[in-house]
Amino acid sequence: MPMGHTATAQAGSGGLTATEHRLANGLRVVLSEDHLTPVAAVCLWYDVGSRHEVKGRTGLAHLFEHLMFQGSAQVKGNGHFELVQGAGGSLNGTTSFERTNYFETMPAHELELALWLEADRMGSLLTALDDESMENQRDVVKNERRQRYDNVPYGTAFEKLTALMYPEGHPYHHTPIGSMADLDAATLEDARAFFRTYYAPNNAVLSVVGDIDPEQTLAWVEKYFGSIPGHDGKPAPRDGSLPEIIGEQLREVVEEEVPARALMAAYRLPHDGTRACDAVDLALTVLGGGESSRLYNRLVRRDRTAVAAGFGLLRLAGAPSLGWLDVKTSGDVEVPVIETAIDEELARFAEEGPTAEEMERAQAQLEREWLDRLGTVAGRADELCRYAVLFGDPQLALTAVQRVLEITPEEVQEVAKARLRPDNRAVLVYEPTAPETPADQDENEEAAR
């Protein structure tokens, strides 16, 4: 069995280590020991996400993720859930633009069961997949879409911003949930073809973290996954690269029944994995990362024109990252008032850069977020997979925080100046409309208000 190198703790890794291995069928395996608590996390990242979907089949990667819980050759129906939960474990799967992940956190003595289950569906899902599960999960996913996006105020904002920000035909133009029409159109044969194309050991990374015996774990991995054939049928994802700057301000005004006006924007930012991405993370933290950020102080504390104001960063490796500004207005304040204040703050930041104290605060916040993420075995397993799949090196997960701490104020200012400008954003404005008049109700002034 090919054993990888045994890593010693690198500087800035907080003493955490990970070892890497590869089975003959191409499955990459990352192991990390931690004996503090008798638990073990299993995480499997498949290198497939919504960016691999084709026109007319948006949402297929996510719908498929649901089908992975509908049984395989040796696991009946909902057996995957039943067996893991019955063993005292917890589990789920998620789908994003760039990957699909599946994870189980188990009491340490039940680790082998999780490996067996993941291997069974990786190797034999199609022996169990049928019309009944397809139809059922199609309905479940459509209800997921309604619950999370369509039936909540501003629920489709992110979908609209993404569609503005990444042009028609771009692999990131649509979000993982997909459209209702495409969910309706997906066929069982689409799902089968998707599995045959993307679900293979050489298109996945498996990480196991926690109270484990690495040699025993690797032997189990070889036993259960080793005979699953790899294949090379996977097409390369469509190119997601775009010019650094959009070059114009894109804008959409949505008139909808929402409780307040809102100003949102997506900025086109550097790809994940670059120093500039870490620098822009710090810039967004200084500007909108908490209750001492510049935008919060300006809009919520001083001008008192907003209820909430903040910036978030969606790191992406295969396309420009997305900086998401979200401001909900206070009372009757009009959007241009907010927009002017934001442009002033961004211009001032580009001009001055962060203060030493702002750098310290932003770095402390990001450092703590990393401590949180690496503080559980499941969080660590997920990060190891992320760096292995997207950047080819799981060790980078353990030193990520160090890289953020090495960024200089000059780098932060530089990226802010280059990217956080009006001609590099897609703006989404919400203007509330009056509620529909209730149809079967006594008309009174209360209801019509």
Partner 1 sequence: MTELATMDFHPRPQAGDAKPWAFPAPKRGALDNGLTVLRCHRPGQQVVAVEVLLDAPLDAEPAGLDGVATIMARAFSEGTDKHSAEDFAAELERAGATLDAHADHPGVRLSLEVPASRLAKGLGLIADALRAPAFADSEVERLVNNRLDEIPHELANPSRRAAKELSKELFPADSRMSRPRQGTEETVAAIDSAAVRAFYEKHVRPATATAVVVGDLTGIDLDALLADTLGAWTGSAAEPRPVPPVTADDTGRVVIVDRPGAVQTQLLIGRIGPDRHDRVWPAQVLGTYCLGGTLTSRLDRVLREEKGYTYGVRAFGQVLRSAPDGTGAAMLAISGSVDTPNTGPALEDLWTVLRTLAAEGLTDAERDVAVQNLVGVAPLKYETAAAVASTLADQVEQHLPDDYQATLYRQLAATGTVEATAAAVSAFPVDRLVTVLVGDAAQIKAPVEALGIGEVTVVSAE
Rounded to an integer, what distance in angstroms lies between the CA atom of residue 223 and that of residue 225?
A: 6
CA dihedral 149, 150, 156, 162 (to 10 degrees): 80
Closest distance between partner 1 and the C-beta of residue 295, in Å? Answer: 13
Residue 232 or 440 with smaller CB distance to partner 1: 440
Strand pairing report for 90-95 and 19-22: unpaired
Site for partner 1 in 131-190 (CB under 8 A): 135-144, 146-148, 150-153
Q: Which of 17, 197, 376, 408 binds partner 1 (CB under 8 A)?
A: 376
Q: Which of 33, 112, 252, 414 binds partner 1 (CB under 8 A)?
A: 112
Catalytically annotated residue among 53, 65, 159, 383: 65
Closest distance between partner 1 and the C-beta of residue 257, in Å? Answer: 8
Rounded to an integer, what distance in angstroms lies between the CA atom of residue 107 and that of residue 312?
A: 34
Residues paired with residue 261 on neighbouring β-strands, in sequence order: none
Closest distance between partner 1 and the C-beta of residue 36, in Å? Answer: 4
Site for partner 1 in 243-282 (CB under 8 A): 257-260
Q: Which helix (H) or strand (E) holds 170?
A: none
Instruction: For 42, list phi and psi in degrees, rounded to 5.
Output: -115, 130
Q: Which of 360, 406, 410, 431 binds partner 1 (CB under 8 A)?
A: 360
- Per-residue x/- marks for partner 1, 119-138, CB under 8 A? xx--xx-xxxxx----xxxx
Q: Which of 2, 56, 167, 229 binds partner 1 (CB under 8 A)?
A: 229
Residue of 431, 433, 429 whose CA lies nearest to 252: 429
Residue of 204, 249, 250, 248 whose CA lies nearest to 230: 204
Site for partner 1 in 23-62 (CB under 8 A): 34, 36-39
Binding to partner 1 by residue 232, rule CB under 8 A?
no
Residues paired with residue 107 on neighbouring β-strands, in sequence order: 39
Residue 407 or 426 with smaller CB distance to partner 1: 407
Q: In what order do the strands lie in the sheet with 306-314?
A: 250-256, 425-432, 262-269, 321-329, 306-314
- Per-residue x/- marks for partner 1, 87-106, CB under 8 A? xxxx--------------xx
Binding to partner 1 by residue 433, rule CB under 8 A?
no
Closest distance between partner 1 and the C-beta of residue 217, in Å? Answer: 12
Site for partner 1 in 312-351 (CB under 8 A): 328, 330-331
Rounded to an integer, what distance in angstroms lies between the CA atom of residue 415 and that of residue 134?
A: 46
* Rg (the chain; Cα; Å): 24
Residue of 326, 271, 265 whose CA lies nearest to 300: 326
Chain-centroid distance of CA 217 in Å reads: 28
For every residue of 280-308, DSSP letters joined together read HHHHHHHHHSSTTSHHIIIIIIIS--EEE
Residue 143 or 249 with smaller CB distance to partner 1: 143
Residue 158 or 220 with smaller CB distance to partner 1: 220
Residue 33 or 244 with smaller CB distance to partner 1: 33
Binding to partner 1 by residue 355, rule CB under 8 A?
no
399 within 8 A of 13, measured Cβ to Cβ: yes
Binding to partner 1 by residue 110, rule CB under 8 A?
yes
Stretch that binds partner 1, among 271-279, 292-300, 319-327, 384-392 (CB under 8 A): 292-300
Closest distance between partner 1 and the C-beta of residue 430, in Å? Answer: 12
Q: Tokens 């310290």 appear where? A: 360
Catalytic residue at 65? yes
Q: Which of 292, 409, 414, 421 binds partner 1 (CB under 8 A)?
A: 292
- Number of amino acids touching partner 1 (CB under 8 A): 100
- Per-residue x/- marks for partner 1, 187-226, CB under 8 A? ------------------------x--------x--xx-x
Q: Spell out the residues 6+ positions from residue 381 whose beta carbon is closer than 8 angstroms to its own.
A: 32, 41, 42, 43, 103, 207, 208, 209, 210
- Catalytic residue positions, numbered: 65
